[in-house]
Structure 1
């Protein structure tokens, strides 16, 4: 249900941090199922995040401030805090940070697929300053004595396909062959790869720009002897996201990625139950999730939303 003009105006007023009445309107709209309420709630969450950053910055500034300065008075700090709160809501309303868009994609049903790989990434922020990230990582590794053989110093995410149509057209023939070994619908493999990479828009790339071709977010554990790509990752720990760093497998082609996925599933005892349920994609992905393939508690549900979605319904039989 779309928001009426009057309700929309009231919800937009909730961006003013001290308008508690409009905040209550937002809560009521969300409970009634208004589609626009999610957008406003996501923007408010982003505003809270920005406000926390500003508050931390102010604390650092206050630690170095002249205590006798008139600008260090409690009155000034009070109005400065009000300004920062309103600044945070304005930045969020203008889409300056982008966190709200990610929340909307994650929480909205339908075709707005948020890459599962983003839960294992730094939100693509490293690409904006990847050379500095690589330099810091190399310095840290030298201090810690880390062996960097076959490991890219800093990986990043970028698009490898222009559209979902191009993604499916390029990968489906490989999926047909690979899926035979699992007795799995190749459409299911495409759906999982689409979720993991956002239809190929968020693929891990090495520092030199070469694609890792990693379609399924498979990490490089001690058994992996091939090339690797290091990226920051957000994993769910007790249903809460936690930032970590992980190495992911890097392949020479997308076909290699699909074949390794099949080998990875078939050779790992923890996925034995999933292998026994490949005839039904829903049961298969549920078993994968229960076995710990992904830490996202809604992983299976998200893959099936892509599997049953309009995009694959139109592109594949």
Structure 2
């Protein structure tokens, strides 16, 4: 068995961002929506930089209009993830894209997504849990609406709350109300930081919002004091190496700091972020990390142990996933 064939846990996956381009093109065709400007001639997503990526992402979401669309999308995502050896995944879901923040509509979308997840678990042996995310560049007031939706549907399936979007908009502390609301509802917390924001954005995330996980967080490598704080606070980083390379944070996998962060004692995990946008899969992430750093099966087993411990799921689910990892 190669490292690419190993079972995998993924904690950082944007639901709409995992939509295969062919799936979005098919929906656009069915709904007679012109999305030709967001694709390259080969059919893949076309974007210039991070800001343009966000624009293309939101354009692709325009065809996802109904709960049934998200049911179909969820099955497509989980079939692809399972084919790449993922046995447990957490996906970022935004009420902004699922009913526009209306609670009743959000429940309908969520029921459709959960139904698809249950079907995928039966068919493909992959378990999915949802992390509700607000979108940073939509602003703090819209984030409150997302947090309310999250709090009202918190439970065994919606288990976390976080924030994605453009890190250059506002400060982490601007969204404190939303995170406090989610925390009071019993949800676990994560937020994007330390991707295009520098190490100070990671410090703000863990101090101002009190998150236990940070999406990306790789710019922490620039600040030794911050690295020590991450270790002391036992914060887990949801690292997405392929995404970071495509978006230009680092020139290649060899230059990526995940190995240095891990060697310094920081808890790191591996995910794909928005896999079709960044031409990656979990198999490819494992292959490239093995090639860059010489990591072998035991290294990836340790990454999975870290990810399983950091997963926002109940203990029964954690035990079930652990058995899957041990059987493989």
Q: Tell me if both proteins adopt one fold, taking TM over 0.5 as the criterion.
A: no
- Considering fraction of residues, name the structure with more strand: 2
Using structure 1 for the length normalisation, give the TM-score.
0.25
User: Could you tell me the TM-score, scaled by structure 2's length?
Assistant: 0.24
Greater relative contact order, per chain length (Cα 8 Å cut-off, separation 6+) = 2
